[in-house]
Amino acid sequence: MAGFADLNVPQGPDKKGLQSLLEAAARRESGSGAAAGPSRAGGAGAVRRFGPAGGGGCRPLPAVLVGYSAVALNHVIDFKEKKQEIAKPVSPSELFPSLPIVQGTSKQLKVLTRLTLVVSDPSHCNLLRSTSSNIRLYDIIAVFPKTEKLFHIACTTLDVDLVCINVTEKLPFYFRRPPVNMAIDRGIYFELLYTPAIKDSTMRRYTISNAISLMQICKGKNIVISSAAERPLELRGPYDVANLGLLFGLSESEAKAAVSTNCRATILHGGCFPAVCADWLAVRRVELRFWAQTPELLLVYSRNSEECLWGGVHGEEASQG
């Protein structure tokens, strides 16, 4: 079973806040409090809570862990403003000296880097087409199209992993079946955010209506639900997020996949396995699905010819390329 992942944690300048958010996502220790009294569950004993015994520099944990095993730090680039340089991604090991351990397992939280491009003009996409090395250094590349034409371009030709769907306002365009089906075939996932739905009721209406209109076209496939949580209190556990997926019109299994297997497939699509460059190889969607279900076997096919370039048995955690 693929672990849960939250693919959108906005990367702000506040390092400590980010650290606490990551801890909230990974670990389950609530803030300080006196020990428990008698528990009704037949003497389950005192459950003691105290702050994290984490590495130096992390402040007392505010929130309880909810159980994600991978998180992607999101760096948003908006082209409407002055031309911004795309900087190299900051390596997570520099930002966080000690990563919290995921509750229930003994592995550390996996922190990936992600770049989101907000495009409102076709000329902005040229950046993606150029083989700029800085972009390729990010693990996941997402695009946020603002017009129908750009949505079509993003689904059919752009080399991205995620297409973000606007949830904060009424969509200016309707989804059509051809680009959505092409995106599904290419292995691109559509991303929905849930934090605006929690915060504000108007946003909630827009989120639900945009999500349901997407569902009617794509039938619930290739959806990833992620938070854009800026504070630990806006984060929700993976089972709760899967339940929110039910509100958005997904079926129960699709909703659960939206938080676990689809995220994993996106990470793989982003090219996290060694010896593979995302430029000239594409793992076919069928093989990606197969990988997500049985992590033991991976077959990599070349984009042009149908020959199998690499096949092998792979461990559960693919190391980053």
Partner 1 sequence: MVRFKNRYVLCEVVAEEPRGRHCIEDRAVATAVRDAIARAYGDYGLACCSMSFTVKYLNAYTGTVLLRCRKDFHRLLCSALPLVRQLESRGLRCPCFLSTLHVGGTIRSCQKFLIQHNRRQLLTLLQNCTNEEERQRIRQSVLSCSLTEGQSQSGDEEEEDDTETD
Question: Given the rule CB under 8 A, which residues bind partner 1?
Answer: 28-54, 59-60, 62-64, 66, 103-104, 194, 197-199, 201, 204, 232-233, 235-237, 239-241, 243-244, 246-247
Q: How many CA atoms lie within 13 A of 171 on its CB side?
A: 21
Instruction: Give the nearest distance from C-beta 49 to partner 1 in angstroms.
Output: 7
Instruction: Report the residue number, 76 or 247, with the smaller CB distance to partner 1.
Output: 247
**Nearest to partner 1 of 142, 244 (CB atom):** 244
Q: Which is nearer to partner 1, 34 or 277 (CB)?
A: 34
Name the minimum Å distance from CB 16 to partner 1: 12
Among residues 29 and 287, whose Cβ is nearest to partner 1? 29
Cβ proximity to partner 1: between 103 and 320 the closer is 103
Nearer to partner 1, 32 or 84 (CB): 32
Query: Whole-number minimum distance, CB 283 to partner 1, in Å?
Result: 33
Q: How far is the CB of 193 from partner 1 (least distance, A)?
A: 13
Task: For the CB of residue 162, give the shortest distance to partner 1 in the complex, in Å.
Answer: 22
